[in-house]
Structure 1
Amino acid sequence: MWCQWVKSYLLKNRSFWSVKILSDPSWVWRKILGLRNDLIHHIGYKVGNGQNTFLWFDNWHPLGPLKERFGDRVINDAGSLAQAKVASIIDDRTWRWPVCQTWELDEIKANVQGNLTNIEDKAIWLASSDGCFSIQSAWNLWRTQHPKVQWSKLLWFKHHIPRISTIVWMAIHNRLNTLNRLAIFGVRDNSRKGIEWALPTSVIKFGNFLQVDGGSVVCELSVVSSIIGCVSVV
Protein backbone atom coordinates (compact mmCIF):
# COMPACT_ATOMS: atom_id res chain seq x y z
CA MET A 1 0.00 0.00 0.00
CA TRP A 2 2.82 2.41 0.88
CA CYS A 3 4.55 1.63 -2.43
CA GLN A 4 1.39 2.44 -4.37
CA TRP A 5 1.05 5.71 -2.46
CA VAL A 6 4.65 6.63 -3.31
CA LYS A 7 4.06 5.94 -7.00
CA SER A 8 0.86 7.99 -7.07
CA TYR A 9 1.77 10.99 -4.91
CA LEU A 10 5.56 11.23 -4.89
CA LEU A 11 6.81 9.79 -8.17
CA LYS A 12 3.81 10.72 -10.37
CA ASN A 13 4.97 8.68 -13.39
CA ARG A 14 8.53 9.94 -13.02
CA SER A 15 11.61 7.80 -12.61
CA PHE A 16 12.67 7.15 -9.02
CA TRP A 17 16.25 7.97 -10.09
CA SER A 18 15.32 11.42 -11.45
CA VAL A 19 12.97 12.97 -8.87
CA LYS A 20 14.40 15.84 -6.86
CA ILE A 21 14.48 16.01 -3.07
CA LEU A 22 11.95 18.65 -2.05
CA SER A 23 12.54 21.14 0.74
CA ASP A 24 10.15 19.44 3.17
CA PRO A 25 10.08 15.68 2.53
CA SER A 26 9.48 13.13 5.25
CA TRP A 27 12.55 11.78 7.00
CA VAL A 28 12.06 8.30 5.49
CA TRP A 29 11.63 9.57 1.91
CA ARG A 30 14.65 11.85 2.20
CA LYS A 31 16.82 8.97 3.43
CA ILE A 32 15.62 6.66 0.64
CA LEU A 33 16.39 9.25 -2.04
CA GLY A 34 19.78 9.86 -0.46
CA LEU A 35 20.72 6.21 -1.08
CA ARG A 36 20.11 6.32 -4.83
CA ASN A 37 23.76 6.67 -5.82
CA ASP A 38 24.58 3.59 -3.78
CA LEU A 39 21.67 1.55 -5.14
CA ILE A 40 21.45 2.35 -8.84
CA HIS A 41 24.11 -0.13 -9.99
CA HIS A 42 22.71 -2.94 -7.84
CA ILE A 43 19.18 -2.85 -9.29
CA GLY A 44 18.81 -4.04 -12.86
CA TYR A 45 15.80 -4.44 -15.15
CA LYS A 46 14.91 -7.28 -17.48
CA VAL A 47 12.94 -5.73 -20.32
CA GLY A 48 9.82 -7.49 -21.56
CA ASN A 49 7.32 -5.12 -23.13
CA GLY A 50 9.16 -2.02 -21.87
CA GLN A 51 6.08 -0.48 -20.26
CA ASN A 52 7.56 -0.16 -16.76
CA THR A 53 11.21 0.62 -17.49
CA PHE A 54 12.49 4.17 -17.98
CA LEU A 55 14.60 4.42 -21.11
CA TRP A 56 17.19 6.90 -19.88
CA PHE A 57 17.30 6.46 -16.10
CA ASP A 58 16.85 2.75 -15.28
CA ASN A 59 19.71 0.26 -15.32
CA TRP A 60 18.40 -1.98 -18.12
CA HIS A 61 21.02 -1.45 -20.81
CA PRO A 62 24.36 -3.37 -20.86
CA LEU A 63 26.14 0.00 -20.68
CA GLY A 64 24.27 0.93 -17.50
CA PRO A 65 21.90 3.89 -16.94
CA LEU A 66 22.09 5.79 -20.23
CA LYS A 67 21.66 9.30 -18.84
CA GLU A 68 24.36 8.69 -16.26
CA ARG A 69 26.75 7.46 -18.96
CA PHE A 70 26.03 9.92 -21.77
CA GLY A 71 24.40 12.92 -20.06
CA ASP A 72 21.33 14.98 -20.98
CA ARG A 73 22.47 15.67 -24.52
CA VAL A 74 21.80 12.13 -25.73
CA ILE A 75 18.11 12.56 -24.83
CA ASN A 76 17.85 15.64 -27.03
CA ASP A 77 19.80 13.98 -29.85
CA ALA A 78 17.34 11.09 -29.80
CA GLY A 79 14.37 13.46 -29.94
CA SER A 80 12.99 11.71 -26.87
CA LEU A 81 11.32 12.74 -23.64
CA ALA A 82 13.34 12.52 -20.44
CA GLN A 83 10.70 10.31 -18.80
CA ALA A 84 10.21 8.07 -21.84
CA LYS A 85 9.78 4.34 -21.29
CA VAL A 86 11.65 1.63 -23.17
CA ALA A 87 8.33 0.82 -24.85
CA SER A 88 8.69 4.04 -26.86
CA ILE A 89 11.43 2.39 -28.94
CA ILE A 90 9.68 -0.98 -29.28
CA ASP A 91 7.21 -1.84 -32.03
CA ASP A 92 5.70 -5.31 -32.24
CA ARG A 93 8.53 -6.88 -30.19
CA THR A 94 11.16 -5.23 -32.39
CA TRP A 95 13.59 -2.45 -31.53
CA ARG A 96 12.73 0.80 -33.32
CA TRP A 97 15.54 3.18 -32.49
CA PRO A 98 15.54 6.76 -33.77
CA VAL A 99 17.86 7.60 -36.64
CA CYS A 100 21.36 7.57 -35.17
CA GLN A 101 23.02 10.95 -35.71
CA THR A 102 25.69 10.77 -33.01
CA TRP A 103 28.26 8.23 -31.88
CA GLU A 104 26.51 7.96 -28.52
CA LEU A 105 23.28 6.72 -30.11
CA ASP A 106 25.26 4.37 -32.36
CA GLU A 107 26.96 2.86 -29.29
CA ILE A 108 23.64 2.52 -27.42
CA LYS A 109 22.02 0.75 -30.36
CA ALA A 110 25.01 -1.53 -31.01
CA ASN A 111 25.07 -2.84 -27.44
CA VAL A 112 21.39 -3.71 -27.04
CA GLN A 113 20.90 -7.41 -26.44
CA GLY A 114 18.09 -9.83 -25.70
CA ASN A 115 14.83 -10.86 -27.27
CA LEU A 116 11.70 -8.85 -26.54
CA THR A 117 8.52 -10.42 -25.22
CA ASN A 118 5.02 -9.32 -24.24
CA ILE A 119 5.54 -10.06 -20.55
CA GLU A 120 5.98 -7.30 -17.99
CA ASP A 121 9.40 -5.88 -17.18
CA LYS A 122 11.09 -7.26 -14.09
CA ALA A 123 13.34 -5.55 -11.56
CA ILE A 124 16.38 -7.64 -10.56
CA TRP A 125 18.46 -7.35 -7.39
CA LEU A 126 21.96 -7.82 -8.78
CA ALA A 127 23.57 -8.51 -5.40
CA SER A 128 22.00 -11.98 -5.16
CA SER A 129 22.39 -14.96 -7.46
CA ASP A 130 18.64 -15.45 -7.94
CA GLY A 131 17.86 -11.78 -8.53
CA CYS A 132 15.59 -11.55 -5.49
CA PHE A 133 16.16 -9.00 -2.75
CA SER A 134 17.01 -10.21 0.75
CA ILE A 135 18.20 -8.49 3.91
CA GLN A 136 21.19 -10.83 4.04
CA SER A 137 22.35 -9.96 0.52
CA ALA A 138 21.98 -6.23 1.21
CA TRP A 139 23.91 -6.55 4.49
CA ASN A 140 26.72 -8.50 2.80
CA LEU A 141 26.85 -5.88 0.05
CA TRP A 142 27.53 -2.92 2.36
CA ARG A 143 29.29 -4.40 5.36
CA THR A 144 33.04 -4.70 5.68
CA GLN A 145 33.81 -8.42 5.58
CA HIS A 146 36.58 -10.03 7.60
CA PRO A 147 37.88 -13.62 7.76
CA LYS A 148 35.73 -15.95 9.86
CA VAL A 149 37.23 -16.51 13.31
CA GLN A 150 37.80 -20.01 14.64
CA TRP A 151 35.59 -19.53 17.70
CA SER A 152 32.47 -18.33 15.84
CA LYS A 153 30.61 -21.62 16.28
CA LEU A 154 31.01 -21.43 20.04
CA LEU A 155 28.98 -18.21 20.20
CA TRP A 156 26.60 -18.32 17.24
CA PHE A 157 24.95 -21.71 16.86
CA LYS A 158 21.36 -22.87 16.42
CA HIS A 159 20.30 -23.05 20.09
CA HIS A 160 22.60 -20.43 21.57
CA ILE A 161 21.40 -18.06 24.29
CA PRO A 162 21.84 -14.51 22.90
CA ARG A 163 22.69 -12.96 26.28
CA ILE A 164 25.38 -15.53 27.05
CA SER A 165 26.84 -15.37 23.54
CA THR A 166 27.03 -11.58 23.68
CA ILE A 167 28.80 -11.60 27.05
CA VAL A 168 31.37 -14.17 25.90
CA TRP A 169 31.89 -12.25 22.64
CA MET A 170 32.59 -9.05 24.58
CA ALA A 171 34.89 -10.91 26.97
CA ILE A 172 36.94 -12.38 24.12
CA HIS A 173 37.42 -8.88 22.73
CA ASN A 174 38.17 -7.47 26.19
CA ARG A 175 35.23 -5.09 25.97
CA LEU A 176 33.35 -5.91 29.18
CA ASN A 177 32.87 -2.99 31.57
CA THR A 178 35.02 -4.65 34.19
CA LEU A 179 36.72 -2.82 37.05
CA ASN A 180 40.08 -2.48 35.34
CA ARG A 181 38.45 -1.06 32.19
CA LEU A 182 36.35 1.37 34.21
CA ALA A 183 39.50 2.52 35.97
CA ILE A 184 40.90 3.63 32.60
CA PHE A 185 38.08 6.18 32.45
CA GLY A 186 38.58 7.23 36.06
CA VAL A 187 35.60 5.28 37.38
CA ARG A 188 36.42 3.54 40.65
CA ASP A 189 34.03 1.70 42.94
CA ASN A 190 35.74 0.21 45.96
CA SER A 191 32.44 -1.01 47.37
CA ARG A 192 32.40 -3.90 44.89
CA LYS A 193 34.93 -6.65 44.88
CA GLY A 194 36.23 -7.84 41.60
CA ILE A 195 37.95 -11.06 40.73
CA GLU A 196 40.47 -11.65 37.99
CA TRP A 197 39.80 -14.29 35.40
CA ALA A 198 41.77 -15.41 32.39
CA LEU A 199 41.14 -16.90 28.98
CA PRO A 200 44.34 -18.87 28.33
CA THR A 201 44.73 -20.90 25.16
CA SER A 202 45.46 -24.00 27.23
CA VAL A 203 42.15 -23.74 29.08
CA ILE A 204 39.55 -22.56 26.57
CA LYS A 205 39.13 -25.35 24.03
CA PHE A 206 35.76 -26.54 22.75
CA GLY A 207 36.07 -29.48 20.41
CA ASN A 208 38.51 -28.88 17.60
CA PHE A 209 37.34 -25.49 16.42
CA LEU A 210 38.10 -23.04 19.25
CA GLN A 211 41.27 -21.62 20.72
CA VAL A 212 41.19 -18.24 22.41
CA ASP A 213 44.37 -16.23 22.89
CA GLY A 214 45.37 -15.78 26.49
CA GLY A 215 44.68 -12.62 28.46
CA SER A 216 43.26 -11.59 31.82
CA VAL A 217 40.80 -8.96 32.97
CA VAL A 218 39.19 -8.01 36.25
CA CYS A 219 35.51 -8.91 36.32
CA GLU A 220 32.65 -8.80 38.79
CA LEU A 221 31.64 -12.19 40.18
CA SER A 222 28.07 -11.85 38.83
CA VAL A 223 29.41 -11.46 35.29
CA VAL A 224 31.70 -14.45 35.61
CA SER A 225 28.81 -16.66 36.71
CA SER A 226 26.89 -15.63 33.59
CA ILE A 227 29.57 -17.04 31.29
CA ILE A 228 28.54 -20.61 32.20
CA GLY A 229 31.94 -21.88 33.19
CA CYS A 230 33.79 -20.61 30.15
CA VAL A 231 36.37 -18.82 32.29
CA SER A 232 39.17 -19.79 34.56
CA VAL A 233 39.15 -17.86 37.83
CA VAL A 234 42.65 -17.09 39.08
Structure 2
Amino acid sequence: MNIQDGCTVRFWTDIWHPKGRLIKAMGEIGTQKLGIVRNAKICDVLVDGDWRFRRCRDPNFQALIANIKELQVQLVGNYSDTALWWKGEDSYDDRFISTTTWDLIRVRRDRVDWSRLIWFSQGVPRFAFITWLALRDRLSTGHRTSQWGSSSKLPLLW
Protein backbone atom coordinates (compact mmCIF):
# COMPACT_ATOMS: atom_id res chain seq x y z
CA MET A 1 0.00 0.00 0.00
CA ASN A 2 1.14 3.47 -0.80
CA ILE A 3 -0.08 5.59 2.12
CA GLN A 4 -0.79 9.22 1.24
CA ASP A 5 -3.71 10.63 3.25
CA GLY A 6 -4.35 7.42 5.25
CA CYS A 7 -8.12 7.65 4.88
CA THR A 8 -8.61 4.40 2.94
CA VAL A 9 -5.95 2.13 4.47
CA ARG A 10 -7.24 0.15 7.46
CA PHE A 11 -4.81 -0.05 10.38
CA TRP A 12 -5.54 -3.66 11.39
CA THR A 13 -6.64 -5.50 8.25
CA ASP A 14 -4.78 -3.97 5.27
CA ILE A 15 -1.22 -4.92 4.34
CA TRP A 16 0.64 -1.68 4.91
CA HIS A 17 3.15 -2.89 7.51
CA PRO A 18 6.13 -5.23 6.79
CA LYS A 19 4.60 -7.79 9.19
CA GLY A 20 1.51 -8.00 6.98
CA ARG A 21 -1.98 -7.73 8.46
CA LEU A 22 -1.53 -6.55 12.04
CA ILE A 23 -4.72 -8.32 13.16
CA LYS A 24 -3.09 -11.64 12.21
CA ALA A 25 0.23 -10.75 13.78
CA MET A 26 -1.19 -9.53 17.10
CA GLY A 27 -4.65 -11.12 17.26
CA GLU A 28 -8.05 -9.69 18.10
CA ILE A 29 -6.86 -8.76 21.59
CA GLY A 30 -4.70 -6.07 19.98
CA THR A 31 -7.74 -3.88 19.40
CA GLN A 32 -8.36 -3.77 23.14
CA LYS A 33 -4.75 -3.52 24.28
CA LEU A 34 -3.90 -0.64 21.94
CA GLY A 35 -7.31 1.04 22.15
CA ILE A 36 -7.80 1.08 18.37
CA VAL A 37 -11.12 -0.11 16.94
CA ARG A 38 -10.96 -2.89 14.35
CA ASN A 39 -12.11 -0.76 11.41
CA ALA A 40 -9.84 2.23 12.20
CA LYS A 41 -7.98 3.86 9.34
CA ILE A 42 -4.37 5.07 9.44
CA CYS A 43 -5.56 8.68 9.59
CA ASP A 44 -7.53 7.84 12.77
CA VAL A 45 -4.43 6.50 14.52
CA LEU A 46 -1.80 8.88 13.13
CA VAL A 47 -2.91 12.39 14.06
CA ASP A 48 -0.64 15.39 13.44
CA GLY A 49 2.39 13.13 12.99
CA ASP A 50 1.83 11.40 16.34
CA TRP A 51 0.63 7.79 16.74
CA ARG A 52 -2.27 7.49 19.19
CA PHE A 53 -1.82 4.20 21.07
CA ARG A 54 -3.10 3.25 24.50
CA ARG A 55 -0.31 2.59 26.98
CA CYS A 56 0.43 -1.12 27.14
CA ARG A 57 2.83 -3.13 29.28
CA ASP A 58 2.85 -6.22 27.05
CA PRO A 59 6.37 -6.55 25.55
CA ASN A 60 5.01 -7.90 22.24
CA PHE A 61 2.83 -4.84 21.77
CA GLN A 62 5.59 -2.49 22.90
CA ALA A 63 7.82 -4.01 20.20
CA LEU A 64 5.05 -3.54 17.62
CA ILE A 65 4.56 0.09 18.63
CA ALA A 66 8.30 0.74 18.34
CA ASN A 67 8.34 -0.97 14.95
CA ILE A 68 5.43 1.16 13.70
CA LYS A 69 7.07 4.37 14.89
CA GLU A 70 10.29 3.43 13.07
CA LEU A 71 8.44 3.34 9.73
CA GLN A 72 8.05 7.14 9.84
CA VAL A 73 4.76 7.34 7.97
CA GLN A 74 3.78 10.88 7.01
CA LEU A 75 0.32 11.70 5.76
CA VAL A 76 -0.19 13.97 2.75
CA GLY A 77 -3.71 15.37 2.80
CA ASN A 78 -4.09 16.17 -0.92
CA TYR A 79 -3.46 12.68 -2.34
CA SER A 80 -5.40 9.44 -2.02
CA ASP A 81 -3.94 6.12 -0.92
CA THR A 82 -3.20 3.59 -3.64
CA ALA A 83 -2.82 -0.16 -3.70
CA LEU A 84 0.44 -1.41 -5.16
CA TRP A 85 0.67 -4.66 -7.14
CA TRP A 86 3.78 -6.80 -7.26
CA LYS A 87 5.38 -6.89 -10.72
CA GLY A 88 8.53 -8.86 -9.91
CA GLU A 89 11.78 -8.48 -8.05
CA ASP A 90 11.33 -5.39 -5.82
CA SER A 91 9.08 -3.73 -8.39
CA TYR A 92 5.51 -2.56 -7.80
CA ASP A 93 2.88 -0.81 -9.89
CA ASP A 94 -0.40 0.91 -9.04
CA ARG A 95 -2.19 -0.90 -11.92
CA PHE A 96 -3.28 -4.54 -11.72
CA ILE A 97 -2.40 -6.49 -14.86
CA SER A 98 -3.67 -10.06 -14.87
CA THR A 99 -1.10 -11.34 -17.38
CA THR A 100 1.76 -10.07 -15.22
CA THR A 101 0.26 -11.72 -12.13
CA TRP A 102 -0.33 -14.97 -14.05
CA ASP A 103 3.29 -15.02 -15.24
CA LEU A 104 4.50 -14.50 -11.66
CA ILE A 105 2.51 -17.37 -10.12
CA ARG A 106 2.62 -20.03 -12.83
CA VAL A 107 5.27 -22.58 -13.68
CA ARG A 108 6.33 -22.34 -17.33
CA ARG A 109 6.79 -25.58 -19.24
CA ASP A 110 7.55 -26.41 -22.85
CA ARG A 111 4.59 -26.44 -25.22
CA VAL A 112 3.63 -29.96 -26.28
CA ASP A 113 2.89 -30.87 -29.89
CA TRP A 114 -0.70 -31.93 -29.32
CA SER A 115 -1.84 -28.83 -27.38
CA ARG A 116 -3.50 -27.22 -30.45
CA LEU A 117 -5.56 -30.38 -31.00
CA ILE A 118 -7.07 -30.11 -27.51
CA TRP A 119 -7.19 -26.41 -26.62
CA PHE A 120 -8.68 -24.26 -29.36
CA SER A 121 -11.11 -21.34 -29.38
CA GLN A 122 -14.26 -23.18 -30.50
CA GLY A 123 -13.61 -26.26 -28.36
CA VAL A 124 -15.97 -27.35 -25.58
CA PRO A 125 -13.96 -27.12 -22.34
CA ARG A 126 -15.51 -30.27 -20.84
CA PHE A 127 -14.59 -32.38 -23.87
CA ALA A 128 -11.15 -30.81 -24.10
CA PHE A 129 -10.50 -31.65 -20.45
CA ILE A 130 -11.57 -35.29 -20.88
CA THR A 131 -9.42 -35.62 -24.01
CA TRP A 132 -6.49 -34.08 -22.16
CA LEU A 133 -6.95 -36.61 -19.35
CA ALA A 134 -7.02 -39.45 -21.91
CA LEU A 135 -3.79 -38.27 -23.56
CA ARG A 136 -2.10 -38.02 -20.18
CA ASP A 137 -3.40 -41.55 -19.33
CA ARG A 138 -5.25 -40.22 -16.27
CA LEU A 139 -8.80 -41.44 -16.95
CA SER A 140 -10.30 -43.74 -14.34
CA THR A 141 -11.10 -46.55 -16.73
CA GLY A 142 -12.07 -50.09 -15.78
CA HIS A 143 -8.56 -51.31 -16.49
CA ARG A 144 -7.05 -48.70 -14.24
CA THR A 145 -9.50 -49.21 -11.35
CA SER A 146 -8.89 -52.97 -11.51
CA GLN A 147 -5.24 -52.23 -10.76
CA TRP A 148 -6.37 -50.41 -7.62
CA GLY A 149 -8.13 -53.56 -6.45
CA SER A 150 -11.62 -52.42 -7.41
CA SER A 151 -13.88 -54.80 -9.28
CA SER A 152 -15.08 -53.41 -12.59
CA LYS A 153 -17.83 -56.02 -12.91
CA LEU A 154 -21.20 -54.99 -11.59
CA PRO A 155 -23.51 -57.67 -10.13
CA LEU A 156 -26.56 -58.49 -12.19
CA LEU A 157 -29.79 -57.56 -10.45
CA TRP A 158 -32.23 -59.61 -12.53
Q: Return the TM-score normalized by structure 1.
A: 0.42
Partner of 1:145: 108
Partner of 1:124: 84
Of residues 57, 61, 84, the one that matches 2:40 is 84
Partner of 2:13: 57
| Corresponding letter in the other structure for 1:137 | T
Partners of 2:6 and 2:56 in 1: how far apart?
A: 20
| Corresponding letter in the other structure for 2:25 | R
Contact 1:63 1:111 in 2 (8 A): no
Structure with more contact order per residue of length (Cα contacts < 8 Å, sep ≥ 6): 2
Shift of 1:115: 3.5
How much is the aligned-residue C-alpha RMSD, in angstroms? 2.7
Contact 1:50 1:87 in 2 (8 A): yes
Partners of 2:10 and 2:115 in 1: how far apart?
A: 52
Contact 1:77 1:101 in 2 (8 A): no
* Structural mapping, 1:26-105, within 5 Å: 45-105=1-61
The percent of aligned pairs where both chains have the same amino acid is: 25
Tell which structure's C-alpha radius of gyration is larger: 1
Partner of 1:28: none
Q: Return the TM-score normalized by structure 2.
A: 0.59
Contact 1:51 1:121 in 2 (8 A): yes
Which deviations, in whole Å up to 9, do the C-alpha atoms of 1:197-225 show, x marking residues without a partner? xxxxxxxxxxxxxxxxxxxxxxxxxxxxx
Contact 2:33 2:54 in 1 (8 A): no
Shift of 1:58: 0.3
Q: Secondary structure at the match of 1:46?
A: coil
Partners of 1:106 and 1:127 in 2: how far apart?
A: 34
Structure 1 unaligned segments of length 5 or more: list them.
1-44, 150-168, 186-234
Shift of 1:65: 0.3
